[in-house]
Structure 1
Amino acid sequence: MSVMKDSREATMIGRRSDGTTIRRPLSPHLQVYDMLQMTSAISISHRVTGMIWTVGVVVMSWWLIAAASGASAFATAQWFLGSFLGVLFLMGLTAAAWFHTLAGIRHLAWDAGWGYDIPTTYRTGRAVLVGTAVLTALTWLMLLISW
């Protein structure tokens, strides 16, 4: 009869190079994180906006290929991007771009060793959120004025 209380326990046992057994720690997963905590929410959102950026690059590639393919293909791409859904997509992509950029700058500061204390972490997290809203609004205001 096994004395293991959890089947995952078998994967936590390992051996050092000298042959002695050790217990490996379990890595935390999403269920251990508090999703309303600023640090977790910003970190997960940074990853999600990176994926949104990937979708934006695909759409931009489609637009460029359509422009090179001819007037009919370009008109179709322009029609979609100029539609209500297309403009909403572009606004969301703009917000994702600003968020990902600002959160990336925050990560660069962490890589330099600055901003690890809890008050600074929360202050920079709020700055990323406010900066995203302000820069997205300014970007679209400038686009609408120049249109």
Structure 2
Amino acid sequence: MSDNAKAGRPLSPHLQIYRRTLTMMMSIVHRITGVALYAGTLLLVWWLSAAAVSESYFGFVQGLFGSWPGQLVLLGFTWALIHHTAGGIRHLIWDTGRGFNLASVETGARITLAASILLTIALWAFAYGVM
């Protein structure tokens, strides 16, 4: 018998017990996008460093980022940046003491998710339109 059971304390539930909710998943995704932004920043530094090294090396890195796998990574980076920013704005609203009732929390999560997807699509459409 565990020490918790002997003391009459409840056992800590694990992930198989919890019912997955949108807000729980958004919290997890917010953390994941934070890590992805760190990796994406390293790619940005690589791109800027390549520009400083030589024209041929910059062309090589630009070619990698311009390939379809590179574009897919950049699309993911763009979405992570926008999603993480939208989540940060949601947290900023919470810091003012607003939006803590369950309906507002759920609505905020849905708005954050929808806005991040729509803004990513709009930004990439604009970028391709300019090119």
TM-score by length of 1: 0.79
CA contact (8 A) 1:33 1:40 kept: no
Q: Which is greater in Rg?
A: 1
Secondary structure (helix, strand or coil) at the match of 1:114 reads: coil
What does residue 98 of structure 1 align with? 82
Q: What amino acid is aligned across from residue 93 of structure 2 in structure 1?
A: A
Instruction: Name the counterpart of 2:101.
Output: 117
Match of 2:40 in 1: 56
Q: Residues 82-136 of structure 1, C-alpha deviation per residue, up to 9 Å, x if partnerless?
A: 0000001111111111110001100111111111100000101100111011100
Runs of 4+ in 1 over 2 A off after TM superposition: 23-35
Higher strand share: 1
The residue that corresponds to 1:17 in the other structure is: none
CA separation in 2, counterparts of 1:58 and 1:30?
A: 32
1:27–1:55 CA distance, 2 compared to 1 (3 A)? farther
Q: Normalized per residue, which structure has more helix?
A: 2
Q: Mark the CA change 1:75 to 1:60 in structure 2 (over 3 Å): closer, same or farther.
A: same
Q: SS of 1:115's equivalent?
A: coil
Unaligned runs of 5+ in 1: 14-22
Structure 1 24/63 Cα, relative in aligned 2: closer, same or farther at 3 Å?
farther
- How much has 1:57 moved relative to structure 2? 0.1
Which protein has greater RCO, CA pairs closer than 8 Å, 6+ apart? Answer: 2
Q: 1:79 & 1:90 partners in 2: Cα distance?
A: 13
Question: Which residues in structure 2 correspond to 1:1-147 (within 5 Å)?
Answer: 5-6=1-2, 9=4, 30-31=15-16, 33-35=18-20, 37-147=21-131
In structure 2, what residue type is equivalent to 1:122?
E
Unaligned residue ranges in structure 2 (runs of 5+):
none
Distance 1:25 1:60 in 2: 48
CA shift, 1:34, in A, is: 3.0
Matched letter for residue 61 of structure 1: V
Tell me how many residue pairs correspond in the alignment.
Answer: 130
The whole-number CA distance in structure 2 between the counterparts of 1:39 and 1:66 is 40
TM-aligned CA deviation for residue 26 of structure 1: 7.6
Distance 1:129 1:145 in 2: 24
For normalisation by structure 2, the TM-score amounts to 0.89
**Alpha-carbon separation, structure 2, partners of 1:113 and 1:27:** 29
Over aligned residue pairs, what C-alpha RMSD do you find? 2.2
